[in-house]
Structure 1
Amino acid sequence: MSGHDERKAWGYALLTVLFWSTVATAFKLSLRFFAPAQLLLVAVITSVLLLGGILASQRRLAVAWRTLSARPGHFLLLGTLNPALYYLLLFEAYARLPAQQAQAINYTWAIALSLLAVPFLGQALRRRDLVAIVLAYLGALIIATRGDVLALHFDSVTGVVLALMSTLIWAGYWLLNARQQEEPVLSLFLTFCCSLPLILLACGILADFRLIAWQGWVGALYIGLFEMGIAFVCWLQALRLTRHAARISNLIFLSPFLSLLLLRWFANEPIASATPLGLAFIVLALLIQQWRRKTAAD
């Protein structure tokens, strides 16, 4: 689509933020009925069918096949990182932690990206980066310990470690993904297709294929359609239609706070008093990072 339409761009962006705000609730509710590997399997198959349908409607499935044939190892590596490892670790973290904790730690992935960019891209950490890193992980620590930072008591140490590992996997995925030339929907379709054998193996080893609970199916279909599929397409549309991508991008900071309300209303998860404070630290860290990129670009 050519041309700009700010009204439509903001509409797509707000719709995306609304979808992303429901993710933590959908994860937590679905994991009551499906094991993490089971949830991942159904969600990824759903997303593959959706993205494949979009490409088919554009008559681009043949292009997708040629692209995969040219670089099978590349897409297999991306698929191993995301969705296979990333979502498996994230779902396992959600299964062990209150959703507000897992979600907040997940929002530090941009900070993990800054850290990984040092050894892999040779980038130097500036003073603002260091401030952002300290603020983000302090915020995550406040949330994970429910405000009792000195005691270092966690609901699940394993859950916290898994959530932190997922941010490293996601950051690594984006470092590899940043240099590719393929159109995003096509790339995501191929990446998800290549992840399926590994996810099937994980489901067979870590769980089973007895996907009986209808509630789990509803949650997995929702996650595959909206968190992995439609939200991504809407976000791309918003960025294509706007002249002010930075302003649009700032809307994502609404998502974690809206998510807390949804967790309270639909998942009946009491929100710890420390959680909004910790999230404020994390959002401030991300804003500092974003400001640094803007000034560097200027």
Structure 2
Amino acid sequence: MPDQRKATLHALLAVLMWSTVASAFKLSLRHMDPAQLLFYSSLASTLCLGAILAVQGRLGLVVAMTRRQYVRSALLGALNPFLYYLILFAAYDRLPAQLAQPINYTWAITLTLLSIPLLKQKIGRRDFLAVFVGYAGVLVISTRGDVAGMNMESPLGVGLALLSTILWALFWILGARDDRDPVPGLLLNFAASLPMTLAVCLATTGLVPASPLGYLGAAYVGVFEMGLAFALWLSAMKNAANTARIANLIFLSPFLSLVFIHFVVGEEILPSTFAGLMLIMAGLAVQRTAKTQKPA
């Protein structure tokens, strides 16, 4: 039976966890490089998801999957977490957290654009307005408000952040027809990505981070960003009597994230960051309105 109170609590906990991860990314990258952070956080996430399934008595679902599902896990794992987080961490390594985090939220707008060639979907004027408003926000953030001068702190970092949204949108498109149970499927994605990330680490900086504090950061990212928050969000959507009301809570995350970035990371939040984020959120709101008004 639906339990809206339980759903709201689990959703708020997930949003709170996701609100802290931009700060966790930035602090962890002070002690290890992106590939190392991905390897140890993926390892922590695999263990966390395994523990969740064990507690639920569903660990057997992992070994009960078909050969085709294992192959799918390897392919999806190469996309996410391997490529997606490797690119995202590289963006955070080059940009202030207050720049990288809002840009990452444009993935839903990117999904709209990719649905045209990949899913042969037609989009309306409201969708195009959402794209324009959202990417206007990216421009304001990446130039720190100097849109006319187009003076970006790190064009490569901005490019990597935008590339991560493409990878995440592709992951959603490819996973739309995924017949695996979500939590065991995600566990296998992370497990499949470990050899890939290990190879990158061994070929570049090795497995030993610059500081042992990096291990703590990676564990936090793996457990809360990649593991527990996902399980809580799934529980929220499963127990919700009104899923739209629960889904809207995700809009709290980017604003809460700026609070953590300011007080934990120590970044002075620029007015241009807040203005650009408001444009991105407005674009997402317009996009959501456009979807609700489309005929069935």
TM-score by length of 1: 0.96
Report what 2:181 is aligned to: 183
CA contact (8 A) 2:50 2:187 kept: yes
- More displaced stretch, 236-245 vs 208-217: 208-217
Separation in 2, partners of 1:212, 1:57: 35
Letter in 2 for 1:6: Q
Separation in 2, partners of 1:207, 1:171: 29
Letter in 1 for 2:181: E
Equivalent positions of 1:21-32 (< 5 A) are: 21-32=19-30
User: How far did residue 134 of structure 1 move?
Assistant: 0.4
Report what 1:80 is aligned to: 78
Separation in 2, partners of 1:95, 1:272: 19
Of residues 245, 258, 261, the one that matches 2:256 is 258
TM-score by length of 2: 0.97
CA offset digits 1:79-108 (Å, max 9, x no partner): 011000000000000000011111111000
Structure 1 portions without partners, runs of 5+: none
Separation in 1, partners of 2:71, 2:256: 39
Separation in 2, partners of 1:61, 1:14: 26
Separation in 2, partners of 1:131, 1:243: 31
| 2:68 pairs with 1:47 | no
Separation in 1, partners of 2:253, 2:56: 31
Report what 1:244 is aligned to: 242
* Seq. identity, %: 48
Equivalent positions of 1:94-113 (< 5 A) are: 94-113=92-111
Structure 2 portions without partners, runs of 5+: none
Report what 1:235 is aligned to: 233
User: How far did residue 75 of structure 1 move?
Assistant: 1.3
Aligned residues: 296
Letter in 1 for 2:294: A
Separation in 1, partners of 2:33, 2:224: 20
Report what 1:281 is aligned to: 279
Separation in 2, partners of 1:260, 1:63: 38
User: How far did residue 42 of structure 1 move?
Assistant: 0.4
Report what 2:31 is aligned to: 33
Q: Secondary structure at the match of 1:196?
A: helix
Letter in 2 for 1:99: A
User: How far did residue 68 of structure 1 move?
Assistant: 5.2
Q: Give me the CA root mean square deviation.
A: 1.3
